[in-house]
Structure 1
Amino acid sequence: SNSDWQLTSGDEYHVYYYDPKALNNTNNTNNGNNNQAVTVDKPLESDPSAAKESVAVTAQSVLQSIQGLEDPWDILFARAEGLHAHGHAREACTLGVRLAEEMLAHPPDLMIEIPFIQAKGKRKKVNPASHQLSVIASNTLAKCGFLCQVLAENPDYFHLAFKVGLFGLELARPPASTKPLEVKLANQESELVLLLKRIPLGEQELAIIRER
């Protein structure tokens, strides 16, 4: 029993009074094992739940983009563009007249006060509200260009096409949120000028120009 007690005492002495260097080596080994475990668990591709979540997020973003076409205004424009692209110029023009009159009667108000967002750091951040106004302005100019082109194909609607083109050029808007958007807006306005030059000027068009 004495030998057993001495063996046990020796084991206890070895456990509680070890060399500090051995402690450091043991800690380093444990840290290495922990890091290795984290590295193994890190990839998300091997996790089925993470993969399902990623697919769900992608599907949700696609559905949101599709739901963006629920606006009747955008649906009518898409229908008119489809008719014109497939050679149904008469039907596209009929729908274009309705869209043009609606646009002229309800112009978008782009000159609204935008809350100032203080940028942190040297990098300038784009104001989301300002960017949204720039996008609306670009979409409006694109619609003006399409309607001006479609209506100008019918001599009965030269005057309406002229009014739509002039409406796009006179659209009051703030500076674009980014330089690429400003360039895009300038190009769209230049395209409207070219479309207006192709429209024969009559007494009604000249009267509008004199009023300006």
Structure 2
Amino acid sequence: MKIEIWSDIACPWCYIGKRRFESALAEFPYRDQVEIEWKSFQLDPSIPEHYDGSELDYLSKRKGMPAESVAQMFEHVKSQAAGEGLNYDFDTLTVANSHLGHELIHFAALSGKQDAAKERLLKLHFEEGGDIGKLETLIEVAAELELDVAAAREALTGREFEDAVDQDIAEAHTLGIQGVPFFVIDRKYGVSGAQSSAVFSQTLAEAWRAGQPLTMAGDSTAEACGPDGCAI
């Protein structure tokens, strides 16, 4: 079974959805036969590399959302995150363009550390106030993950994975994905949003059954008809 997950590093529900999905996957009896691929998505590609202002300021001014509504939204999201063991800090969050961070995740995939890179960048962004759009910050992450730091710097400065990120985003649009997180299972099942672990568990089980050959029941020697005639 292959599961492709479109998400944005700058999406608070994507981190929550990751945790809920992981809880379901941990209980899935066939988890060792599941391949996970993280796909890039940007909720707002227009964010500058560095934005001078808070997340509340950004959403209220650039998105035209009332500051009080944004503050209420933050409290709701923080509460949901806390329920998954995550400690969001919107006061220290650094607003930055996530494209380069997605490029690092693609680079990490070459070493089998795509999920680790995704996890580290989400934590950095939502819990630690790190700048996911800053080259040096991303190089530090590469070092933490024990990736080839020189190769990571070369890949990010040369934008070697810029097209790969853009292709992920274009593919999402082709599939009709307009919001994240979005989980695609074997290109047959789609799960939108940070659903409960129960929903993920149910979908995993259903998708697994659908992808398996028939389970035979009864006596395989029972009389039947075939191309060569019928049993006597």
- Higher fraction of helix: 1
TM-score (norm 1): 0.28
From the CA coordinates, give the structure whose radius of gyration is larger: 1
- Higher fraction of strand: 2
